[in-house]
Structure 1
């Protein structure tokens, strides 16, 4: 594989999953980690990605308010629109982090009365001036890469919450491995969020379907709904619809 092809693959993976690990890219591309590091450094110097320790982030994930940089922004807006239809007046909601969650927070109807608990300061900032919303940002260690709070303090607070519905993004989703991620602390928090909610909806662009990360959060039977940007005629959507409700 030529360097240009390899670097384009890296950019695609970063855009789809928001972040990548050098070790994973090395295995996927069958090249050394030194080669991957050189590629990441070059791409960062060109302003196409954000280099971090052990891997890289998409620019939209690191700078989420620069709207023009958000990957598949139209798809994420469509997912947000579908997700908003699940919200009912008076609900207690748990909301995760990521660019799709920010899009969801931006379209909450003004006449909606809800209590929100979120692990994302960026989501909280979008909702805080909503006239009929009680917004609660859970306290914990703020991750510079993930932009969400994690740690035992967050998990303890989540154990005291009984939410009606939890909205979560995902770094990986597959029929066989369920919901997965590459960050141990994020995995633990997402597990606690699912446990604290009566129902959980996973929000994911269709390009993430059939992708697997190293750590499992839960099986698909622990999830009530998958919300994606593809329509029901999409072959992947048809396969997932046999096992889980898909919007």
Structure 2
């Protein structure tokens, strides 16, 4: 594979999953980690990614968020519009972080009256602009890569609540492996969020369907709704229909 092809692959993986590890890219591309590090350095110097220890982050995850840096922004807006249908007055909600969740927070109507718990300081700031929403930010250790609070304190707080609806973003999702991620701390938080909810919604751009990471959050039967930018009748979603409700 030529260097340009390799670097294009790296950029796509970073945009899809927000974060990649050099070790994983080395295996996927069948090249040395030194080669991957050189690629990441070049891409960072060109302003295309954010290099961090052991890997890289998408520029769409850089705060303050720039409109032109958000990957698949139109698709994420469509997902946010669909997810709005599930949110009703007087609900108690629990939401995660990520750029799609920020789009959803921005779209919530000013007239909506509900309580929303979140593990994301950035989502909390967006929600704070809504006059009729009671916003509760769960504390913990801030993950510098995922921009959410993690650790035992966050998990302890999650164990003390029961919400009507949990809305999570997805790193990867597939029929075989369910919901997966690459970060151990994030996986523990996502599992605790699932236990805190009566119903769970996963929001996910279509490009993340049929992909898998090393660490499992849950099987598909633990999820109630899947919201994507595709039509529910799209052939790509046909096998998911037997496990959960597509929106």
Please report the TM-score for the alignment, with normalisation by the length of structure 1: 0.98
Matches within 5 A, 1:1-247: 1-63=1-63, 65-247=65-247
Cα offset, 1:226, TM superposition: 0.5
Residue ranges of structure 1 left out of the alignment (5+ in a row): none
Structure 1 Cα separation of the partners of residues 206 and 85 of structure 2:
19
Structure 2 Cα separation of the partners of residues 232 and 216 of structure 1:
25
RMSD: 0.9
Given that 1:64 and 1:70 are in contact with CA atoms closer than 8 Å, whether structure 2 keeps it comes out as no
Q: Deviations over 1:195-239 (max 9, x none)?
A: 000000000000000111110000000000110001134221122
Cα offset, 1:98, TM superposition: 0.2
Cα offset, 1:22, TM superposition: 0.8
Structure 2 Cα separation of the partners of residues 218 and 231 of structure 1:
24
Given that 1:62 and 1:145 are in contact with CA atoms closer than 8 Å, whether structure 2 keeps it comes out as no
Residue ranges of structure 2 left out of the alignment (5+ in a row): none
Structure 2 Cα separation of the partners of residues 197 and 49 of structure 1:
35
Q: Deviations over 1:37-75 (max 9, x none)?
A: 110010000000000111111100123621111000000
Structure 1 Cα separation of the partners of residues 159 and 242 of structure 2:
32
Structure 1 Cα separation of the partners of residues 153 and 233 of structure 2:
43
Structure 2 Cα separation of the partners of residues 18 and 151 of structure 1:
20
Which stretch shows the higher mean deviation, 63-72 or 232-241?
Answer: 232-241
Structure 1 Cα separation of the partners of residues 90 and 158 of structure 2:
19
Given that 1:119 and 1:137 are in contact with CA atoms closer than 8 Å, whether structure 2 keeps it comes out as yes
SS class of match (2:164): strand
Residues 6 and 235 from structure 1, CA distance in 2 versus in 1: closer, same or farther, beyond 3 angstroms? Answer: same
Structure 2 Cα separation of the partners of residues 232 and 188 of structure 1:
30
SS class of match (1:136): strand
Which stretch shows the higher mean deviation, 61-70 or 23-32?
Answer: 61-70
SS class of match (1:213): coil
Q: Deviations over 1:100-138 (max 9, x none)?
A: 000000011111111010000000000112111100000
Q: Number of residue pairs matched?
A: 247
